[in-house]
Each structure stands twice: as C-alpha cells, then as structure tokens.
Structure 1
Amino acid sequence: MKIDKVELFGIRLPLHEPFIVSYDKYEDMPAILVKIELENGVVGWGEAVPDQHVTGETWHSALQVLEHELAPLLSGLSPFQIELIHQKMNKKILGNPSAKAAIDCALYDLMGKITEQPVYQLIGGKTHDFLVMPQVISIKSPDEMASDARRMVRKGFRNLKIKVGTDMETDIERIRAVRNAIPPEVKLRVDANQGWDRTSAITVIDQTKDCLVEWYEQPVLADDILSLQEIRKVSPAKIMIDEGIHSTHDLLNVIKTRSADMVNIKLMKAGGIYPSLAIANMAEAAGLPCQVGSMVESAVGTMAGAHLAISRGIIQTNELVGPFMISQDIGKVSFEGDVLKFPELPGLGVVVDESLVKELSEVHIIIS
C-alpha cells in the first residue's frame, strides 16, 4: 500500500459573511485540498489553510511548496510512515506548517481507511464523550456584536468567543455589550489576535473583570513572551497563548517562563495531527489545558481537528467553527445543537464532494 499519486486543489471557500480579526478581513478563506491516492486506489484527503500573519505562508506559496517540495517526497512510501515523512518534510524545508498539515491529515485519513477505523482510534481513542462547539463573532461595532451574540444563544450555543484587538476603549465596549446581551451561564471568551500591547491588555482585562470572561487569548504579539508573563503576573484572568505556539520548542519556552495558563493548538500552525499530539503531551506534562483551534477550515480540516480534540483529555475545549462560517462546504459535518456528531466512517469521516471541489478550484495540480 504505497503512495502513487498526489493531487492539489487550490480553492476559495465562500463565507456567509466576511470574517474580521485584528490583523485582517477575509471575504473568503483560501484553502488547498490535498488528495493522496495509493496504488490500490484508496484515497485520503487533507487541507491547508495558510495565513501569512500566523503560519507565514500565503495561498500561492503553500501551493508552490506542496507541488515542488513536499508532495514529491511521498512517492513509494506507506502512509503509516508518518514519522519518516515528517522528518523528510522538515529536512526539505523549514516552517510551512499548513502545507505539511495538509499532507499529515491526508495520511491519517488513509491510515484510518486502510484499518477501517476512525482516526481517533489510531491516536488514543475517545477520552471525551462528545465535543461541544462554540461560535465566534467577528470584529464589528459593540451593538452588532451583541446582536450576533443574542442570535447565537437563541440557536442553542453555550460558548461564545469574540474577536477584538483594535482600540482599547472600543474593545472594552465590545466585551461589555456582548456580556450584557447573553445569560451569565453562557461562557464568554475574548481573543485579541495580537492586537494589544502590554499596557492595553492589562487595562482591558482590569476594566472587564466583572464580565465573566473565561479567558483572554493572545493579547500581545506572538513572540512577546515577556509581556504575556507580566500580564499573567498582575491579572487574575486566564491567559491563552495561540499564535505564539507553533511547536514543542515554543511551548517549552512558555512552560519555562510560566507565561500562559492555556494553549491553543492549531493543526495549521503545528504541521498536522502528528506534531500536535506532541504539543498536547508536553502541555499535559506541564499541567496546561489545551484547546484545538481553527483557521476556518472546511469539513476536512475541521474533522481532523475534532479527532485530535476527542482523543486527548488535556484538550478541554475546541474552536472548530469552519462549518458554521463556510456557506459552501466540500463535505458534511453534522451537529445536534452545538454538539458535533462523529460519523460512523473510517479515517476522518468526511465524504468529499469532488464535483464541488473542482467547481471551487482555481488551481488543479497532479503529481505522480
């Protein structure tokens, strides 16, 4: 069961509405789907959602790296050689984690299909009975964000995360407006996406200490570990690090400096499921609860993250919101209210609509 062919599809996933965070506005989500086919015809799917602000890749650069550097490494190898394949990818090129994640996820999809098991069974089995999904609210005016929050609560969502990180005063208004719009039992999380400096972060956290914020995520620049450490020292609020963690090396520095309370693991930052497991294991050793985050992936990337999330006890929350935000998905993810339903299918459990993939594709590359 050797790898015979790789296909790349450069697509743009349409959104219900623009997604706005502190560093950019997305009218759609540029993504790359990777289809890996074995000699016997079995197919696995993976996904890259690159982001120049987070992963250091663009849609075009990730396509180029996959076509010319990474996909050619796979020919003749078994999908079960996951450690060797990651070694080869890391030796071939530094960084480019979302491109590597696309290959990694496709390999796990293949391993599950070959063994006729869902991916979570291959990486530890279920440690949670189910996954509760949140909703994420883009940066808008305080009143608009409050209205979005009320609408999401009416739909039955029990966990909300709001995007902030513009100017300090308006961010305080946003947090207060959303908190006042929702019942106290609905959990509220705040993500600045690196949008504040140390002083602003401390001020916002202090001014919203009565808003029952569960945690504040990535308040300062990704590499500003010292500011995170100082914020954590003076504030009783929980601090989650996101953009500052791409690898176990990054996490080791956070553990040494005690600069965060929680870790947001994203497959697109880490390079896939395999390296994400290492991050989760290290975080568990340090007593740092984790979340599996999202770069607004399609059903493929979403379910890859879901299999990771349900397989580790230290992963206590998730933010796999792509299916709620994408208006035309290339596969189906099912929910009962805000609870994700795992399909009784092997691999990632996603039946990819190849006709829609081709319809949405701007680039199609075959490597054999």
Structure 2
Amino acid sequence: MRITQIEAIPFKVPLAQSIGKITSSIWSMEAANHVLIKISTDEGLEGFGEAVERPTIYGETQNSILTVVKEWLSPQLTGLDPLDSEKIWERLDKIAANNTAKGAIDIALYDLIGKKLSLPIHKLLGSWDGEKVRVSSLLPFGSPEKIVSNALERKQRQGIQAFKIKVGKDLNRDIKTFIALREALGDEAILYVDANQAWTPYQAIKAIRAMEPYGLAWVEEPIKKGDFEGKLRVANQISVPILLDESATTIEEVWQQIRMGMNCLINIKPSRTGFTISRKIMHLAEAANIPCLVGTARETGLGTAAGIQFATSFKNILLAEVADFEIYEHSLLDNSLEIKNGYAYVPSDPGLGVRVSETALKKYQIKLE
C-alpha cells in the first residue's frame, strides 16, 4: 500500500447558537476554523485527520496548514507505505514546527492502517480499556452563575463529574467561581483550572493557594510555557500538580520538565502530536510514573474520535477532555459519538471508527484567499 495523495480541505463550522462565543485568557473563538486532512492510497483506502488552527498557541492558521501540507509535507510523503511510521516522521521532522498539520497527517495514516487491518485504532495502540474513558468537560469564561448552571446541566444530562475551568482574567472572580462550583457539585467532582499561561509565578501561587482548600485537583499551565524554572518554583510552593499542556508539544520539552523533578501531570493531545509522538510521550510519562490526560483542542467529532481512541489505549490516562464536540452546530460525522454516565465510549468500527459526512463537509467547506 502506497500514499498517492494528501489533501487539505479547510472548513468553518460555527459554534451552536446557544453558545455563541468561547474565550480563554489568550484566545476567543466563534467557529471551528480547521482543516480536514484526507490521505488516499493505491488500494483505494482513505484516511482522515483534523488539523486545528491555533495561532496564539501553535502559530498555525488555516492558510499555513494548507500551504505546508500542499507544498512541503505531501511531496515528502507521497509514495511511502503508511505503515512506515518512523520513516514518515523522519521526513515530517525535516519541516520545523507545524504541529497540528503533522499530527493530523499521522492520525489520518492510523485511520488508513486501521481500515486496512479491519481494526479500531485503540487495538493498534494497546487497548487498555477498549470500551470507555472517563471524561471531563471544559467550562469557558462567564459569570459564576452561568458556569455553575452549565456544569450542572452537563452533570444531569451526561453524568459528567469532572470539569476544567478557564481562569486568568480576574483572580477574585476565578476564586468565587471555583468555590461556587465546589458547593454546587459536591466533593465527588474533579475540578481543575487552566490559566493558559496568564499568571506570573507570584499570581499563580496566590491563586492556587486560595483554591486548594476547596479541592483543586491540579492547575494547567499557570505561567509562561517556556519558563520551566519559574514553573518549578510554583510547583514547589503548592500542594497540587501542574498539568503540562502548551509546554508538552515535543518529547524533548516533556523530558526536560520531568527530569527537573517537577510535580506534574501531562496533557497529551493527539491533534498536535499525532498518535506516533503521543505514544512516545505516554511511555516517557509511564517510565517516570506520571499520570496523563488526553486534552482537547476544541476539535469537531473527527478529532474527538482520535482523542477517544488514544485515551482508551493506555492505563495511565486519568481523564479525557473529549466531551465538548457538541459545542458546534455539526460534528462533521455521519455517525455519532456516545457520552453517558460520565464516560465516552470508543467507536468500534475500523480506524477512527467514524465516518466523515460528505454532505456536511460540502456545506462547511470554505475557499481561502
């Protein structure tokens, strides 16, 4: 089997009307401005992946993803066997950065391999559970009352008992919101916060210490991602782990922080490291006895399916942030993903286990200048 074509198809799926707009401390969004990666082979099989535009985090836009796939990555990979992952990544790594473009290509290749072998991807990766994974849901900025209402609705409708709260704009409001959530959800809920690098070390220590008495589980990227020494100082003065996210995009930076002795967890996102590099980061974490999460980049149903496949493959996964694909007016899938009783259930069909809706893709596909 040989790769014959790699296509990059830009699309724009608006957020559902009831949501409108989502913000964090460093970005805001009103739609999924993403890119569908489609890889074809000489055997007629096709594999799909979803590349996520995140200019404030990865420096990638829809235009940059299209350009690097068309002009650089596709010529490097055409003619190769999809099973030769090490050879493929040796060529991908000749091009610097472009994390989500590479990650989506890797996911599409695994989708192909799964279809070729008639196996879901979790069977190729390890299939620790092979059925379901506990999920957490992201709670974006808003009034404390709105955030609590959102969490209670998700708990009632889908049994979700783990939530990530975006923080970093207003410390007093952040603390008030966290306390309100704890009081509304009870002690059994897992609550953690994501500052998206918004704080200084001093602000981080102050904020985290204020939340710790109310059952803060961990804190995600409290300060600038590249300030490893500052992050270590913060970690040494709080009682909860730091969740590495924006600073966990390569094997090298993950290893550098692990060997510093930082009390940490690792948020693995297949959307930026594919399955191949994500698996290597996972094994590095296992060797250091560090638990992991599977994170979200606000993917549609296609990217979410990749997260579920990965999350059900390894025993070292605490939670998967795969409950929020419903924020969009369409998942881009013909078949649905199932979340109930606080768990996401892995699709059992070959590859990613989901089918891209051609009708929806035609509706949401866009043409870039």
Q: 1:323 aligns with which of 325, 330, 335?
A: 325
TM-score, normalising length from structure 2?
Answer: 0.94
C-alpha separation in 1, matches of 2:283 and 2:367? 37
Higher mean C-alpha displacement, 126-135 vs 198-207: 126-135
Alignment of 1:48-63 (within 5 A): 48-63=51-66
268, 271, 275: which is aligned to 2:271? 268
The residue aligned with 1:78 is 81
* Counterpart residue number, 1:65: 68
Q: How does 1:216-235 map to 2 (within 5 A)?
A: 216-235=219-238
1:3 corresponds in structure 2 to 3
Q: Is the 8 A contact 2:39 2:48 kept in 1?
A: yes
2:254 to 251, 255, 273: 251
Equivalence for 1:285: 287
TM-score normalized by the length of structure 1: 0.94
One-letter code of the match for 1:360?
Y
Deviation at residue 147 of structure 1 after TM alignment? 2.0
Q: Using the alignment, how far apart are the partners of 1:363 and 1:76 within structure 2?
A: 28
How far off its partner does 1:181 sit? 2.1
Q: Which runs of 5+ in 1 are unaligned?
A: none
Aligned position for 1:351: 355
Q: Residues 82-121 of structure 1: matches in 2 within 5 Å?
A: 82-91=85-94, 93-121=95-123
CA contact (8 A) 2:160 2:343 kept: no
CA offsets per residue over residues 218-265 of structure 1, 9 Å max, x none?
111111111211111111122211111111100111112123420111
Structure 2 residues without counterparts, runs of 5 or longer = none
1:134 alignment counterpart: 136
The whole-number CA distance in structure 1 between the counterparts of 2:130 and 2:200 is: 36
How far 1:152 sits from its partner (Å)? 2.1
Contact 1:225 1:259 survives alignment (8 Å): no
What secondary structure sits across from 2:248 in the alignment? Answer: coil
* Counterpart selection for 1:298 from 300, 304, 310: 300
Q: CA deviation at 1:336?
A: 2.8
Partner of 1:171: 174
RMSD: 1.7
**Structure 2 CA distance, aligned partners of 1:253 and 1:42?**
39
| Counterpart Cα distance in 2 of 1:257 and 1:101 | 27
Q: Which moved more, 1:273-282 or 1:73-82?
A: 73-82
Q: 2:323, 2:344 within 8 Å by CA — same for their partners in 1?
A: no
How far, CA to CA, are the matches of 1:209 and 1:127 in structure 2? 32
1:308 equivalent in structure 2: 310
Q: Distance in 2 between matches of 1:120 and 1:150?
A: 31
Call closer, same or farther: CA 1:129–1:41 in 2, change over 3 Å.
closer
| Higher alpha-carbon deviation: 326-335 or 119-128 | 119-128
Question: 1:36-55: CA deviations, max 9, x gaps?
Answer: 11112111111100211221
State the aligned residue count: 363
Divergent runs of 4+, >6 A: none
What do residues 143-165 of structure 1 show as CA deviations (whole Å, max 9, x unaligned)?
22122222222222111111111
Equivalent residue, structure 1, for 2:12? 12
- Please tell me whether the aligned partners of residues 222 and 243 of structure 1 are also in contact (alpha carbons under 8 angstroms): yes
Match of 2:339 in 1: 335
Contact 1:117–1:345 (8 Å) recurs in 2: yes
Structure 1 residue 196 and structure 2 residue 229: aligned? Answer: no
User: How far off is 1:128 after superposition?
Assistant: 6.1
SS at match of 2:14: strand
197-206 or 330-339: bigger deviation: 330-339
